[in-house]
């Protein structure tokens, strides 16, 4: 499991302690990797000592720097410094491109029997038939673009973030205030819903999800309407919300 912390303000990191303790009580054995700013390691280990918590699983705390911080077979995670009042980062989850559409008729024409060899070709692996090498590109269409999800953390909008989040399928962005509190957003290093939408529009983001609302808003409708006046696809984040992110060949929220 991997957890990514944007910055060391209490509303973004204190919950880690309860989560780690719960994992310990459930007798977790698998490793836990936590990525975040430079103070994260000190914060976690100091509090684990205070709690006298002896965790039964490997815990790895990794300091984030700009660039690729995780690279796995099917995806990678990138980080960039965001513009907040303390050291903070935005993250981008990028799924790697998938092999193109498989064309059975092409495989048959090349003498590849249906079954296991087809599955290898679909995975991008060459196969051998009667001393002939059949390459995936002979039976597949163009590679299909992987999905991308961005999360801003607390930040002011800026051009670096526009470029970082370019063409995201989903962007979850700081929308602490409405534009009525523009000056407060600037002073406190947050964004307004309008600014989040403007950035998402510049970055060609398919779906914008507003988050991190000031406690002054009992109803987030004003923030949603403000953002929707700029960007056509906007949602408001809710606790425990689950969102399916379709592939490019399918439509997202409209």
Torsion sign, CA atoms 70, 75, 79, 84: negative
Examine the residue annotation and report whether 154 is marked as an active-site residue of this protein: no
Categorise residue 177: left if φ over 0, alpha if ψ from -120 to 50, beta otherwise.
beta
Q: What is residue 63's three-state secondary structure?
A: strand
User: What are residue 187's phi and psi, to 5 degrees?
Assistant: -65, -45
User: What are residue 8's phi and psi, to 5 degrees?
Assistant: -100, 45
Query: 11, 54, 218, 239: which one is catalytic?
Result: 11
Distance between CA atoms of residues 9 and 168, nearest Å? 26
Joined together, the tokens standing for residue 145 give: 């673009």
Residue 226's H or E segment, with its range, is helix 221-228
If you count DSSP H runs as helices and E runs as strands, how many of each does the chain have, helices first?
9, 12
Q: What is residue 153's three-state secondary structure?
A: coil
Q: What is residue 145's three-state secondary structure?
A: coil
Distance between CA atoms of residues 173 and 179, nearest Å? 15
Active site residues: 11
């Amino acid at each position: 499991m991997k957890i990514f912390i944007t910055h060391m303000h209490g509303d973004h990191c204190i919950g880690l302690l309860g989560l780690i303790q719960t994992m310990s009580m459930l007798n977790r054995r698998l490793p836990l990797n936590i990525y975040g700013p430079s103070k994260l390691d000190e914060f976690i280990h100091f509090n684990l000592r205070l709690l006298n918590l002896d965790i039964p699983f490997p815990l790895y705390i990794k300091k984030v720097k700009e660039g690729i911080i995780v690279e796995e077979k099917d995806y990678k995670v990138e980080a960039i410094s965001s513009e907040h009042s303390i050291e903070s980062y935005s993250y981008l989850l990028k799924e790697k491109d998938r092999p193109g559409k498989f064309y059975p008729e092409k495989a048959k024409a090349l003498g590849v029997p249906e079954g296991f060899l087809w599955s290898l070709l679909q995975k991008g692996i060459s196969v051998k038939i009667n001393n002939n090498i059949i390459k995936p590109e002979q039976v597949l269409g163009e590679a299909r673009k992987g999905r991308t999800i961005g999360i801003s953390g607390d930040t002011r909008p800026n051009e670096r973030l526009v470029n970082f989040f370019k063409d995201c399928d989903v962007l979850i962005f700081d929308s602490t205030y409405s534009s009525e509190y523009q000056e407060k957003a600037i002073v406190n290093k947050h964004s307004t819903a309008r600014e989040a939408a403007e950035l998402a529009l510049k970055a060609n983001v398919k779906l914008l999800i507003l988050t991190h609302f000031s406690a002054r808003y009992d109803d987030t409708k004003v923030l949603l309407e403000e953002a929707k006046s700029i960007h056509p696809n906007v949602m408001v984040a809710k606790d425990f919300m689950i969102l399916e992110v379709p592939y490019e060949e399918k439509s997202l929220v409209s």
